[in-house]
Amino acid sequence: METPVETTRERLLNVAEQRFGEGGYEGTSLRAITVAAAANIAAVNYHFGSKEALLRAAVARAMAPVNAERRRRLDQLETAGAPDPEQLVRAFVEPGLELVLRRGERGAVVARFIGRIAFDPSRRIRELYAAESDPVESRYLGALQRALPGAAPDAVAFGYLNMQGLLALHQSQALAPAPGAEAPGNLAERLVTFLVAAFHHGLGS
């Protein structure tokens, strides 16, 4: 059974995901979060220390299962040899779609939160997201650069950034599909195919 302290902390994180996802970091007051979480500023200070620390904890929690699966897949690929671009793109994209979708009704909240913070207008918030989203992402970038020796490293980095953005867009669409939209599995396959082609042809490799 959860203790009251654990319940308060989780409630603050849940509300922070929702409110930051809807209004962004600057557009969301700490008071709005505490009121919705039936808590107070003292509780935020006790569990996190500040509004920014609350955001950092929410990002770390939201990304943990995705990063764990991406790390597992990359370790497996690199143990087997030198992965090709398709293997790397698939290992990056599929966890981003599948593990967020498996969160049930909170999946849409998590996807919106991640997308909003990752591309926040504030450079400081984007840097905070990058620092908390896990070093495994830099491993994927390095692996893609090695798998695409014919492309300049900065060109691969540009393609990688666009892959992140396109994935964030489709995460949101997959979690709130329009009538007649394709199944998530089909979406993952089409997205992988498109991105691999972009890396091969768009980067001149």
Is residue 5's pLDDT more than 60?
no
Of 136, 141, 143, give the one whose Cα is nearest residue 161: 141
Residue 121: band (very low, low, confident or very high) from pLDDT cuts 50, 70, 90: confident
Residue 146 three-state SS: helix
Residue 167: band (very low, low, confident or very high) from pLDDT cuts 50, 70, 90: confident
Cα distance between residue 68 and residue 95, in whole Å = 9
DSSP string, 56-67: HHHHHHHHHHHH
- Tokens 């909240």 belong to residue: 109
Is residue 61's pLDDT more than 50?
yes
Cα distance between residue 18 and residue 25, in whole Å = 11
Half-sphere exposure of 180 (CA within 13 A, CB side): 0
Is residue 179's pLDDT more than 80?
no
Is residue 199's pLDDT more than 60?
yes
- 188 vs 5, 7, 205, CA distance in Å? 39, 35, 23
- 198 vs 58, 88, 95, 137, 201, CA distance in Å? 32, 14, 20, 19, 5
Q: What burial class does residue 40 get, using C-beta atoms within 10 Å of its C-beta: 0-12 exposed, 13-18 middle, 19+ buried? A: middle
Helix (H) or strand (E) holding 154: helix 153-175
Residue 39 three-state SS: coil
Is residue 1's pLDDT more than 50?
no
Two tokens, residue 176: 């709130």
Task: Tell me the average pLDDT of the chain.
Answer: 86
Is residue 70's pLDDT more than 70?
yes
Of 19, 45, 21, 51, give the one whose Cα is nearest residue 32: 19
